[in-house]
A = this chain, B = another copy of it.
Amino acid sequence: MVLKVEESAVHSLPPPTIPASTPLGYESDCLTISAFVNRPALGILPPENFPDKLIESLLSIAPSGMTRVQTMACGSCSNENAFKTMFIWYRNKERGYAIPSEQEVGTCMINQSPGCPDLSILSFMGAFHGRTLGCLATTHSKVIHKLDIPSFDWPIAPFPKLQYPLEEFVRENAQEEARCLEEAEDLIVKWRQKGKPVAGIVIEPIQAEGGDNHASPDFFIKLRNIARKHGCAFHVDEVQTGGGTTGKFWAHEHWGLDDPADVVSFSKKLLTGGYYHRDELQPDKPYRIFNTWMGDPSKNLFLSELLNVIRRENLLEEVMRSGKTLLQGLYALQVRPSPFLSSHD
């Protein structure tokens, strides 16, 4: 077998070689599949064509207002790093973009404030944002995820519990959403008062793991405004909802906002993890958001092809059409129940 080293990789190989992730080095003649086996450390040594590949793939479907994308390997890492991006942005605002104090630099190495500040992320009851320790502090869907794992004292707001059919409970549902928004805003004020300011709000456009829970566009629009009013970043977690199953590529597009969020994270159907963010949330220095692999460029190649298929076959329209048919069928069953179905609370 013959090694095919990408020329671009050789040309840009820096003196300190990529961090411990090239198992045979570039000299082995035993593996033809170097592009996969010698997977680049994307943050240091991206393939020469990687920016173009990002433009073709992830940036071609960027949510409104989002100009930057950071790839990651999975949904949990995406949300963890999205949270870090919000914390860094929030602290930079707090310190007026000055360089960190000696006290901050000294304390951060030993996990103490102010270097490791007591910031928090506001999440919603029933939410699922992943299972690594940072994500898990914002996940509240099932006991099996949470039990026995240390967590952060971060605020948790109620997610609206809507009553159906929606048209019969217009007033009740509006009241329920108003109650949840008020509680969310109260928590932001309370956590600021107790010295753990909310740097960001994280929410799913549809709670999936927590039980297929929906809220109106009006709820999300008002929540986005609460975030803005209190200087918190607004993070929409589309790990479950992104990729077209709602009839739009991103579920938050149903809200109709030009500036729907500060951060949108993704994974699963997108084949690569990662998150988009607004320009303003770009960290002030390189290496503040980093890991060895930062995703996998081979997954981006698959995503480009996947997007071609979705476009060529008008799959979003197809989802809209078949979704309507399914919904009409369910409504019909509701009026004229099938003898094969029974109701279930």
Name A residues whose Cβ lies closer than 8 Å to a Cβ of B. 19-24, 28, 30-31, 33, 36-37, 39, 73-77, 80-81, 83-84, 87-88, 90-92, 100, 104-105, 108-112, 115-120, 125, 130-134, 137, 140, 143-144, 146-154, 156, 208, 239-240, 243-245, 267-271, 285, 287-288, 290-293, 296, 298, 302, 305-306, 309, 313, 315
Contact = CB atoms under 8 A, between A and B. Distances in A.
Contacts of A305: 31, 33, 37
B154 A111 contact: yes
Contacts of A24: 306, 309, 315
A109 B77 contact: no
B132 A80 contact: yes
A22 B306 CA distance: 11
A234 to B, nearest CB: 19
Given A87-B148, A131-B290, 18 more contacts: A19-B240, A21-B267, A24-B306, A31-B302, A31-B305, A37-B306, A74-B293, A76-B77, A76-B132, A81-B131, A84-B133, A100-B147, A108-B148, A111-B137, A116-B148, A132-B132, A133-B134, A144-B288
B110 A156 contact: yes
Contacts of A21: 267-269
30 contacts: A19-B268, A21-B268, A23-B269, A23-B271, A24-B306, A28-B309, A31-B305, A31-B306, A33-B302, A36-B302, A37-B302, A37-B306, A39-B271, A74-B74, A74-B77, A74-B291, A76-B77, A76-B80, A87-B148, A92-B148, A100-B147, A105-B147, A108-B143, A108-B147, A111-B154, A118-B150, A119-B150, A133-B134, A268-B292, A296-B296
Give the most central of A23, A88, A109, A148: most B CB within 10 Å: A148
Contacts of A306: 23-24, 31, 37
Nearest to A307: B23
Contacts of A243: 20, 23
- CB-based closest 9 A-B pairs: A133-B134, A116-B151, A111-B151, A91-B148, A23-B269, A80-B132, A21-B268, A108-B146, A73-B73
Nearest to A270: B23
Nearest to A296: B296
A132 B131 contact: no
Contacts of A268: 19-21, 292
Contacts of A77: 73-74, 76-77, 132
Copies, count: 2
Contacts of A110: 140, 156
Contacts of A134: 132-134
Contacts of A150: 87, 116-120, 152
A163 B39 CA distance: 37
